[in-house]
Structure 1
Amino acid sequence: MEKLNQDQESALNFWKEEIADSFFFQIHRMKRAIFRKTNALMIESGITLQLEQLPLLMILRHKGLSQRELSDKTMRDKSSILRSISALEKKNLVAVVKDKIDKRKNIVSLTEEGFIMAKEIRSLMKRAEDEVMSVFSPKERIEALNVVKSYADKLETL
């Protein structure tokens, strides 16, 4: 019994010292809360996409891009991008065509259905963000956004 209590105390100390005070873990908790709300809203709306596919739809709302450009913008490897594009293409959300100038490149663009879904997802993401951030006062929300944006900007220069 005493050994069990020591093990539990050891695990609690590990939690306090190693995880709870970790910046990465706290960011992960925030991300998890946002994703949980976004997933719930997507399920409620009947949208059956994987979370890693969402950035592609959001990026492609503005213009078609090559697979390489999508890989660079999302900071994902080529094979991961290809899997997502293939899944989106099967759902008729994106179209892939050869670049007219450089035949080695494939250009990925939203279909009309993809564009409509991207708009709907953007609306759901905004709603999820508003619901998650509602625990903050308007001033805290602005401060939190500025701090997180500042951190992200600095970390991108590494």
Structure 2
Amino acid sequence: MKTKYSDKENFSNFWKEEIADSFFFQIHRIKRAIFRRTNALMNDAGITLQLEQLPLLMILQHKSLSQRELSDKTMRDKSSILRSITALEKKNLVEVVKDKLDKRKNIVSLTNEGITLAKNIRTLMKKAEDEVMSVFTPNERLEALHAVRSYADKLEAL
């Protein structure tokens, strides 16, 4: 029969070998820190959106897209995109219209309110990133950005 001490020791070894030294886990911790700060700033500003809705607003800020294109760009399934679009539409942040050339396609665009909100969120995201990254020297920040961008580029090429 194992004692509590050996269970703790086993968990400690598991944590060290399987989780703490995991690249995925460390990336997740970075993402969580940035999202936590962004969520706090958004709550302070009275913005009540779900995290999965944010990329849609940011993407649509530059160009109207079909639901399929949004699904491809965000790497989310169609039903998930549809739920987010429906929620954003109810908040009058996006509008959906049939494509003039292909009636099977729905084109999603930001409303004026959506454009304003997207700009505000972009400002909050930048502020959150600056706050989180303030623990690094300017050189460390550049090195981290270069390394993470390089990793992302290589992984996307798989």
- Identity level (%): 79
Matched residues, number:
157
In the other structure, the counterpart of 1:116 is 116
* Pairwise CA distance, 1:63: 1.4
**What pairs up with 1:7-86 in 2 under 5 angstroms?**
7-86=7-86
Distance across 2 between alignment mates of 1:115 and 1:64: 12
Is 2:95 the counterpart of 1:95?
yes
Distance across 2 between alignment mates of 1:17 and 1:147: 23
**What pairs up with 1:126-141 in 2 under 5 angstroms?**
126-141=126-141
Distance across 2 between alignment mates of 1:82 and 1:9: 47
SS at match of 1:97: strand
In the superposition, the TM-score normalised over structure 1's length comes to 0.98
SS at match of 1:108: strand
In the other structure, the counterpart of 2:143 is 143
Structure 1 unpaired stretches of 5+: none
SS at match of 1:107: strand
Structure 2 unpaired stretches of 5+: none
* Pairwise CA distance, 1:35: 0.5
Given residue 3 of structure 2, which amino acid in structure 1 is its aligned partner? Answer: K
After superposition, the C-alpha distances for 1:2-61 in whole angstroms (9 at most, x for unaligned) are 701111111011000100100000000000000000000000000000001000000000
In the other structure, the counterpart of 1:106 is 106
